[in-house]
Structures are given as structure tokens and as C-alpha cells.
Amino acid sequence: MIERTYEATLYAPLFYSSSEGRSIRTQPTLSATALMHALGYRYFGLEKRYAERGDEATSPDYSHLVEQPYFVTDMRPVSVETDERTFRSTDYRSERHFTTNDKDVAERINGKKAVPNILETSGAAWQTIRNYVGIAPGSTFEFTIWSDDPLPDRPFFRMGVKQTGEFRAQERSLSTIVLNKFLLSEVYGLPDDLLTEAMKRSASFNRGNDPRLQHFVSVDPSFVRDRIVPEVV
């Protein structure tokens, strides 16, 4: 099993729905489930799913990741700016977007100010517009991958809403391992005693406000290599 750590640099704005609602906000730590898909599409022949219906659209099924011949950490923020912003309509028939630095407009979309009556009664899709707060180009992240076949020396991949985030990565020495609890427990089904041991072998545990945003931070690398990786790859 080949272990490699990379530093990934973002070259285009990334809008990634860490949490959803009228505002789509991107947390600095990017989920391993998203990275598994991004690298899988690019380098491991993972099949894309273009449309999901019914319960699949609201309750994502990640079971197809279990069969993949690789495993990744979360993308740990090294130097990240989370001030990239755009607004998009969410009408299923089309998608339009606009960008503004007008704070007053942003507060109305976020529900902090009343929407003007003329827009409430106009029939326009004002209420369906979402505020996307994303990550700016130039931000950098660290991730580690274990696989039978190595990635290229300078891997390139896309991720985020509409795959707009463009990353280029280069190898670096391992600094910190951040593991995603949702991936380990809900996708790979690791037993509770192993998850408890992972918590003990971590410097901290980030609980987040969504199961997919819970992270084991700074996990003992030897524990990951000896106990976690053999269970998932």
C-alpha cells in the first residue's frame, strides 16, 4: 500500500455545501467523501452519478466508495480564505447567478432583512436565491492518500458545486492526519471500539453540526497505518 501526502492549491473559486439552507457555506476543512469522489472520477475510474431521485437526492448513499482501491483523509486547511461569494437561483429549470459586494443585498438574501414587498409579490424567484460563501483561489490544503497505484507527481482534480473548484497538488511531507468520522463509521462501518481508539489517538475531535463534519484531528500516523488503513482498503 502506497502512502503519499500532498499539498493541494486551489486555482478557481470553490463553492462546497458544508451546510445548506438559504446560505451555502463552505467550511475550511473539506470532507474526505468529496475528495474520494474527486480523485475517483479523475484517476480510479469511479462512475459518475449525474441524477438522483427520491430519497437518494436527500439521503446520499456512499456505499459505492467501500469497493474503491484507495482511502483518503479530509483536506486539512493550510492557508485558506473563506470570503469568495456569489448568489444563484435554485430553480430546477435553470440556474442563474450573480455576484455582488452589496452587504444590504446579502443580508436580505440571508433573511436578516425583509425582502422588498415589490419582490415578494412579483413572482420572481427571489426567495429561491441562495447565498454561496466559498473558498478563494490561492487557498491551500493538505491530504494523504493510501492506494495500490500511486497518483501522478502533480495530480489535478475538480470538486465542489458544479465541479468549479480546480486543484493542483504536489507531494509534501506528512504534517497532520485528519480523518472523517462519517466516512469511517457510516460508509466503512468501523466498529465502535476502533472509533473510540481513534479518538484516544487523536489530539482533538471536531464534532461539527452535521455528522459529515465530524473530524478526528491530528491522529497518530502509526495507528492509522496499522489499524485504520487495513480495515478500509
Residues 6+ apart with CB under 8 A from 165: 10, 12, 13, 14, 15, 16, 135, 158, 159
Q: Report yes or no: 232 and 185 within 8 Å, Cβ to Cβ.
A: no
Interval 154-191: pLDDT, tens: 999 998 877 778 999 999 999 999 999 999 999 999 99
Please state, in angstroms and rounded to a whole number, the distance separating the CA atoms of residues 10 and 38.
Answer: 14
Interval 16-69: pLDDT, tens: 766 555 556 678 899 999 999 999 999 999 977 655 555 555 566 788 899 999
Confidence at residue 165, expressed as pLDDT on a 0 to 100 scale:
86
Question: The whole model's pTM is what?
Answer: 0.78
Q: What is the mean pLDDT of residues 127-141?
A: 76
Q: How far is CA 153 from CA 92, 172, 183, 219, in A?
A: 40, 10, 26, 25
Output phi, psi for 118, to 5 deg. Answer: -60, -30
Confidence at residue 26, expressed as pLDDT on a 0 to 100 scale:
74
Confidence at residue 15, expressed as pLDDT on a 0 to 100 scale:
78
Confidence at residue 164, expressed as pLDDT on a 0 to 100 scale:
78
Residues 6+ apart with CB under 8 A from 92: none
Confidence at residue 14, expressed as pLDDT on a 0 to 100 scale:
84
34: left (phi over 0), alpha (psi -120 to 50) or beta: alpha
Q: What is the mean pLDDT of residues 210-218?
A: 86
Output phi, psi for 46, to 5 deg. Answer: -70, 130
Interval 80-131: pLDDT, tens: 887 666 655 544 445 555 555 566 766 666 666 655 555 555 555 454 556 6
Q: Is the pLDDT of residue 233 over 70?
A: yes
Confidence at residue 41, expressed as pLDDT on a 0 to 100 scale:
92
32, 29, 34, 28: which is closest to 163 by C-alpha? 34
More confident residue, 99 or 203: 203
Q: Is 122 helix (H, G, I), strand (E, B) or coil?
A: coil
Please state, in angstroms and rounded to a whole number, the distance separating the CA atoms of residues 52 and 41.
Answer: 17
Q: How far is CA 65 from CA 15, 40, 61, 187, in A?
A: 23, 9, 9, 7
Q: Is 135 exposed, middle or buried (0-12, 13-18, 19+ CB in 10 A)?
A: buried
When the pLDDT of each residue in the chain is averaged and rounded to a whole number, the result is 81
Amino acid sitting at position 116:
P
DSSP label of 162 = G
The C-alpha cell 433573511 sits at 111
Confidence at residue 80, expressed as pLDDT on a 0 to 100 scale:
87
